[in-house]
Amino acid sequence: MENNFDQTTKFEGNIFLFYAFDVGDEIDLNKIKKKRLVNLKEFTSSSYFKNYHIPLFFDIESLTEKGRTGEQYVTQDSPCISSKLHHFGALSFYYKIPFSSSLDDLKTKLIEIKKEFDGRANQDAKKTFDRIKVAIKKQRFFNLDGFYFAIQVDPKQKDISPENFREYYGGKIASLLRLETFKLSEYQEKEILSATTGYSGQDMIIIDSEGSFIYDSEYFETLEFFEFANIQQLELQYFDRLLDEKLNFFYAQQSYKVPISSYIPLLGERFNSPVSLLAQLRVDISVITERLENSIKMAGEAYYLRVFSMLREKMGLRGWKVSINRKLDIIRDLYSVYQDRLDVIHEEILTLVIIILIAVEALIAFLR
């Protein structure tokens, strides 16, 4: 086996960088279409995504004036192969950068490339935001951002199995996926390389928390799962932070107290109270998170289901979902307690009114 390997062997493949930005509560996609705020592009939506998660695919290069002085990123062949608008207030981009180098050289190049494209992604997101902000509800640039990457290597020799490739180059792959130039500990390498799967026996995907390594020449469908998982993580982080802010404000203001106006049935703050607003927020977040959770449909696709499940586990999506659900449960309990208080108050008021009416009726009868 050793005769087939060389530490200086050059490999050909591609680096894929996935970026996502949260820019508001909601993007009105119909308004963008109607006003033609961006140049839309035709694309075939993946059969693995349900209809309620169909984004708008647009031409990011059309937002940049060609040949403008000082625009270092305008090239004839744009590395941005996907730019999308998502209705839940997110922008996503991913870039493709071909390479031909040894894995050792690639480690240094990857860090430099990431720094360069961090800046480019921010510029592309800002240009897009400025163009479509009239269609964004509660616009802000930007609240949170997300990043993921994938390294795709073309199998160089057909007689080398993915298992042998991983055994020999496993340490370098592990360092690549952690964006480190030095060799990781044996424990870290073992943990990273354990998350490996494949389909035909001639391909391999190693999935980690910030990046994945693809040893295959047919990889296109897998990229969509990387992009979507990055977006899903971004939105879950946003909702978790939003719930923290709302709950902290609620406790700090002591707005859980029943206001005086609530003593008046029908005219009180039954539906406009801070607790009621939290309850409405709970419903909105529950709907969006459930849709994000169930946006993938892969009945009968065991391999892709495993790939996406490994992605979710490594990126900690389940943990974010648990945190959000726990805070939504707190809001539900707060609303239940608040509603119980209102019900008791209204029952007492109704009882008091009945007693007063009976007393008045008795007084009138007595006076007659």
CA–CA gap between residue 109 and residue 113 (Å, rounded): 6
Rounded to two decimals, the pTM is 0.81
7 band by pLDDT with thresholds 50, 70 and 90: low
**Residue (of 15, 18, 14, 17) closest to 233 by Cα position:** 18
Arithmetic mean of pLDDT over the chain: 82
Q: What percent of the chain has pLDDT over 90?
A: 32
Q: Does the structure show a pLDDT above 80 at 246? A: no
The pLDDT tens digits for 51-72 are 667 889 999 888 765 433 333 3
Q: How do the domains of the chain map onto residue ranges? A: 2-225, 226-367
Q: Could you give phi then psi for residue 135, rounded to 5 degrees?
A: -105, 10
pLDDT, mean of residues 306-327: 88
Largest Cα–Cα separation, the chain: 117
**Residue (of 148, 154, 169) closest to 214 by Cα position:** 154
- CB contact at 8 A, 181 and 51: no
In sequence order, what are the residues at sequence separation of 6 or more whose Cβ sits closer than 8 angstroms to the Cβ of residue 354? none
**Residue (of 100, 102, 202, 199) closest to 158 by Cα position:** 202
Q: When comparing pLDDT for 301 and 298, which is higher?
A: 301
The pLDDT tens digits for 72-126 are 333 345 799 889 999 888 999 999 999 999 888 898 899 999 999 999 999 999 9
The pLDDT tens digits for 349-364 are 888 889 999 999 888 8
* CB half-sphere exposure, 49, CA atoms < 13 A: 17
3-state secondary structure of 253: coil
192 band by pLDDT with thresholds 50, 70 and 90: very high
The pLDDT tens digits for 260-285 are 665 565 555 555 566 666 777 777 77
pLDDT given at position 326: 87
pLDDT given at position 190: 92
Number of H helices, E strands in the chain: 8, 10
Q: What percent of the chain has pLDDT over 70?
A: 84
Q: When comparing pLDDT for 42 and 36, which is higher?
A: 36
CA–CA gap between residue 159 and residue 350 (Å, rounded): 85
CA–CA gap between residue 250 and residue 235 (Å, rounded): 22
Q: How far is CA 235 from CA 69, 173, 194, 198, 246, in A?
A: 36, 29, 28, 29, 16
The pLDDT tens digits for 210-223 are 999 999 888 888 88
Q: Does the structure show a pLDDT above 50 at 3? A: no
